[in-house]
Structure 1
Amino acid sequence: MKKILLALTAVAAMTGSASAADLAARPYVKAPVAAPVANWTGFYIFGGGGGGLSNADQSVVDTVTGTPLTITQRQGGSGWFGTVGLGYDWQFNSTWVAGVFADGQFGSIRATIQDPLFQITGSQKLEDSWAAGVRLGWLVAPNVLSYVNGGYSGAHFGQTNFTNLAGVPVGAHLGSYNRNGWFVGGGVENSLNIFGITSPGWFMKTEYRSAFYNAKTQTELLDAGNVPLVNSIRANSWNQTVSTSLVYRFNWTGPVVAKY
């Protein structure tokens, strides 16, 4: 009987040691971590530049009566510009982002102005403009936003100095003026965390914009004394631009990782 008890005690001791050894050998497994989630909510600033096209439907009218003296014809031009701005975005679910923004543009987008009756021509420059609007975007990827935008815009157009067909100044001009209008556009904005380079907060956006400004009637003036002439030019302005800007987002420190 004593031999049986001793044998059972030895087996129990060996089993307990083996169980303890098995527990000690088990590897440590970390708890699962949620996938990184990017958040677009917050303020940002940007600056960049690009090129633009200008078009205008023009006609010559009588200065006193406003009666059209020629048929309407479309003139155009092109140029470059720089831009700076700021905005605020709000990501309201995993897919959509809405925001407000304001920006200014400065540069030299020129368009042709003509009076076929006097056979004179000149160049009118869009010197600077501003815009304030809203945008709505769809996240193609967590760090890539495709968006459309729209809003109000204002522009300053410089003085137009006329020459004859040979390019000789004729001593007449159109004065500078301001006009208001509206714009629509769209673009893509993406994080610069690419090619293995980490750039928290830095983005790049490329945007197309089409701005339409109200028609303006300008009296042709002699350079000497700004004496009004009998003809005036009536024209609207339609400007298309493409820009690329560097964006910095103040709230962006990289993907937000959920903690447990």
Structure 2
Amino acid sequence: MKKTLLALTAVAAMTGSASAADLGARPYVKAPAPAPVANWTGFYIFGGGGGGLSNADQSIVDTATGTPLTITQRQGGSGWFGTVGAGYDWQFSGTWVAGVFGDAQFGSIRSTIQDPTIDITGNQKLETSWAAGIRLGWLAAPNVLTYVNGGYSGAHFGRTNFTDLAGVPVGLHLNGYDRHGWFIGGGVENSLNFFGISSPGWFMKTEYRSAFYNAKSEPIRFDIGDLPTINSVRANSWNQTISTSLVYRFNWTGPVVAKY
């Protein structure tokens, strides 16, 4: 009996050794590549256009004393504009991007100015504006940046010529003037490769912005002599815009494989 058990044990051991010898070496499995990243650090320029809405809280005040002559009324308008600008971004902590930028807008965003005490009305136009600010964004994908921004802004409002309610000129006007204030906004910027267009360095951004300008009084003037009348217009301004711009990034390398 003992001899039989020893014989069976020897056969089992030999069979196991042969099976192990028949197995090939374990195949080499390459480690998975790290997720692609992109380099957003560097300078960029952009240009585009869009549309905007203008709102203002207006009242008529005494030119000499500033005493209100009418209640405050909300006036509004709309129009279009073009924009150009430049900036610099820093990418940090992998998926965060911070930057500084400046831009300028030019176009025709119109609003209404009225003096109900003498029944005159006119169209005012926001002709140019500029902004300097910062932005902070998060990479939703290696080539897609979502961001918020804010900063300081200035605007120039053009001359307003008044007419009566029938549209007849009355010989009165409001000179053009400048206003300053601040803005907040946000948007999305993405590489054109996102749409399947092979164009290294080229991006598109769509942005919403609200700009708030301080209130100030401006006298209504006679066309002859440019002398002030006894009435002045006191108004602030709130402008909302949506724009789409084409962006070029000078140092864009596209998604690259991070090294260990």
TM bucket normalised to smaller: 0.7 to 0.9
Number of the residue aligned with 1:5: none
Number of the residue aligned with 1:156: 156
Comparing 191-200 with 141-150, which one deviates more in the overlay? 191-200
1:106-163 CA distance string (max 9 Å, x none): 0000110000001000011110000000001011111111110000000111000000
Number of the residue aligned with 2:219: 219
Number of the residue aligned with 1:38: 38
Alignment of 1:45-124 (within 5 A): 45-124=45-124
Q: Match for 1:53: what amino acid?
A: L
Q: CA deviation at 1:29?
A: 8.0
1:200-223 CA distance string (max 9 Å, x none): 111100000000011120111010
- Given the superposition, is the C-alpha separation of residues 196 and 242 from structure 1 closer, same or farther in structure 2, using an over 3 Å criterion? closer
Does structure 2 conserve the Cα–Cα contact (< 8 Å) formed by 1:61 and 1:70?
yes
Q: Give the structure-2-normalised TM-score.
A: 0.87
SS at match of 1:83: strand
Separation in 2, partners of 1:134, 1:170: 45
Does structure 1 conserve the Cα–Cα contact (< 8 Å) formed by 2:201 and 2:248?
yes
Number of the residue aligned with 2:240: 240
Number of the residue aligned with 2:255: 255
Q: Match for 2:225: what amino acid?
A: G
SS at match of 2:198: coil
Q: Match for 1:68: what amino acid?
A: P
Alignment of 1:5-16 (within 5 A): none
Number of the residue aligned with 1:166: 166
Separation in 2, partners of 1:31, 1:189: 33
Number of the residue aligned with 2:209: 209
Does structure 1 conserve the Cα–Cα contact (< 8 Å) formed by 2:39 and 2:253?
no
Q: CA deviation at 1:198?
A: 1.4
Q: Match for 1:157: what amino acid?
A: F
Q: CA deviation at 1:32?
A: 5.7
- Given the superposition, is the C-alpha separation of residues 74 and 195 from structure 1 closer, same or farther in structure 2, using an over 3 Å criterion? closer
1:29-77 CA distance string (max 9 Å, x none): 8776443211211111000000000000000011111100000000000
Q: CA deviation at 1:253?
A: 2.4
Q: Match for 1:227: what amino acid?
A: L
Q: CA deviation at 1:196?
A: 3.4
Does structure 2 conserve the Cα–Cα contact (< 8 Å) formed by 1:77 and 1:111?
yes
Number of the residue aligned with 2:184: 184
Does structure 1 conserve the Cα–Cα contact (< 8 Å) formed by 2:38 and 2:253?
no
Q: Give the structure-1-normalised TM-score.
A: 0.87
SS at match of 2:117: coil
Give structure 2 stretches of 5+ with no counterpart. 1-23
Alignment of 1:17-28 (within 5 A): none
Alignment identity in percent? Answer: 82
Does structure 2 conserve the Cα–Cα contact (< 8 Å) formed by 1:100 and 1:133?
yes
Q: Match for 1:133: what amino acid?
A: G
Does structure 1 conserve the Cα–Cα contact (< 8 Å) formed by 2:36 and 2:142?
no
Separation in 2, partners of 1:87, 1:223: 43
Give structure 1 stretches of 5+ with no counterpart. 1-21
Does structure 2 conserve the Cα–Cα contact (< 8 Å) formed by 1:146 and 1:187?
yes
Aligned residue pair count: 238
Does structure 2 conserve the Cα–Cα contact (< 8 Å) formed by 1:33 and 1:259?
no
Number of the residue aligned with 1:133: 133
